[in-house]
Amino acid sequence: MTTPTVVLTNNKGGVGKTTTTINLAYGLCQSLKQAGAANPRVLIVDTDSQAHATLTATGSKDYTRHNSLCAVLGADRKETTEVLSRVIVASHWLPELHVIPASAELEATERELFSTPGAPYRLADALSVIRHHYAAIVIDTRPSFSLMTEMGLLAATDAVITLEPRYLETVGLQSVINKIYEIREGWRHPDLRLSGVVVTKFDRRVKGHQEMIESLRQHPNLGKLLCGIIPANEAVAYAHRSHLSVYAYDPTSTASEAYAQMVGWMLKRLFVKEAV
């Protein structure tokens, strides 16, 4: 079995991709430890030059092109392992939760790679040498369908779409699904499956939100993939600002509970063959 690699995706910004990335990664790592897994290591790959996931999980965003994902993407095949061992840092939360940090130079690196043959596979190739060192990998993407996001999708086994329950969001949903299928078929990456849809910033007092969830639930395919409904909750924003996981910031908050439930759902999806 290959290491499950989850990519959080949506070409829109501000929908909770980064928040979901770090809380999912943290939760997976924590529960794998709890389960006594021989290898509970989880790796976060931050592909967004804004480095929000990096900052939250490591407490720093002072990474340059030499000690961030930039170096990994630019490495020669032969040096990849050595570069990865140098670049990967431990999160400041759990010793088994690691991060490939992003840096502001990622966009420049992306531009340089445009003309390189095989560029879209750079991340997949790099991760292939370190993949089995981890029990799971979680990739955060930036809000666009750029080359970098394609790299993330091509490196992944499981795509999870993050959505806000706004009225027009369902329209956007279709374009994200299309992108995943394009990667799967067009790029011949049949191992990529659409594994989940998580709704964030849900407010049950808003009628539209309720209706959207209801229609998702009714959907013949997507209904089964609804893997989390995360309420809009101040604790998330505060946790973010304090560079904490939401569980650590306030384990009693509704968002913590919802994320924990999502972790359970994902763990089953990723590790139990016959599930879902």
Partner 1 sequence: MPPKHNGPNRTLDILSSIGDQAFLGSEVMQNLRDHGLRVDRIAIALIRPDAAQPRRVLPETIHRAFHNQEITPVQALKQYIEKVRIISRQKGRPFESLLDLLVVGEEDEGSTQLTALEQDLRDLTNLAVTLRQDGQVNPLTIVDCSQGAVPSYIIETGERRYWANYMDMEFIPGYQGDGTIPCIILRLGESSVFRQAKENTSRAGLNAIGMARQAALLLLTIHDIYPPRGHVSHDFYREALDLDLRGKREYTADVLAAMGGISLVHFSRHKKLLQLEDEALEMADRYNIEEARLRYVVDMPLEQQAEIIRQIIDFGLSTRQVKDLCDQKFDDVPKSDKSDTSPKTRRAVKVFCSNNKPSGEEVARILLEEEGDVHLARIRMESILNTFLVAQRYLEENENITLR
Ligand X SMILES: Nc1ncnc2c1ncn2[C@@H]1O[C@H](COP(=O)(O)OP(=O)(O)O)[C@@H](O)[C@H]1O
Shortest Cβ 193–ligand X spacing (Å): 21
Contact string (CB under 5 A) for Mg ion, positions 16-55, x = contact: -xx-------------------------------------
Residues 141, 47 contacting (CB under 8 angstroms): yes
What percentage of the chain's residues is helix, strand, coil (to nearest 5)? 50, 15, 35
**Other CB atoms closer than 10 Å to residue 186's CB: what's the count?**
9
Q: Is 94 among the residues that bind partner 1 (CB under 8 A)? A: no
- Is 43 or 44 the residue whose CB approaches Mg ion more closely? 44
Binding test (CB under 6 A) with ligand X, winner from 240, 244, 267, 269:
240
Q: Is 232 among the residues that bind ligand X (CB under 6 A)? A: yes
Residues 137, 42 contacting (CB under 8 angstroms): yes
Six-digit token pair at 158? 């499981």
Contact string (CB under 8 A) for partner 1, positions 233-262, x = contact: -xx--x--------x-xxxxx--xx-xxx-
Residues 141, 11 contacting (CB under 8 angstroms): no
Angle between helices 147-154 and 106-113 (to 10 degrees): 80
- Is 18 or 256 the residue whose CB approaches Mg ion more closely? 18
Shortest Cβ 123–Mg ion spacing (Å): 17
The C-alpha torsion from 14 through 146 and 157 to 185, rounded to 10°, is 130
- Is 18 or 253 the residue whose CB approaches partner 1 more closely? 253
Six-digit token pair at 105? 């130079």
Residues 180, 158 contacting (CB under 8 angstroms): no
Report which DSSP code applies to 120.
G
Residues 5-44 that bind partner 1 (CB under 8 A): 27, 30-39, 41
The window from 11-19, 68-76, 90-98, 213-221 that contacts Mg ion (CB under 5 A) reads: 11-19
Question: How many residues does the structure list for the chain?
Answer: 276
The one-letter code for the residue type at 141 is T
Angle 237-201-196 from CA coordinates, rounded to 5°: 115
- Is 15 or 84 the residue whose CB approaches ligand X more closely? 15
Q: Is 95 among the residues that bind partner 1 (CB under 8 A)? A: yes
Shortest Cβ 176–partner 1 spacing (Å): 27
Question: Cα(first)–Cα(last) distance of the chain, in Å?
Answer: 18
Interface positions with partner 1 (CB under 8 A): 1, 27, 30-39, 41, 77-78, 80-82, 85, 88-90, 95, 98, 125, 128-133, 135, 234-235, 238, 247, 249-253, 256-257, 259-261, 263-264, 267-268, 271-272
Interface positions with Mg ion (CB under 5 A): 17-18
Interface positions with ligand X (CB under 6 A): 13-19, 52, 143, 200-201, 230, 232-233, 236-237, 240, 255
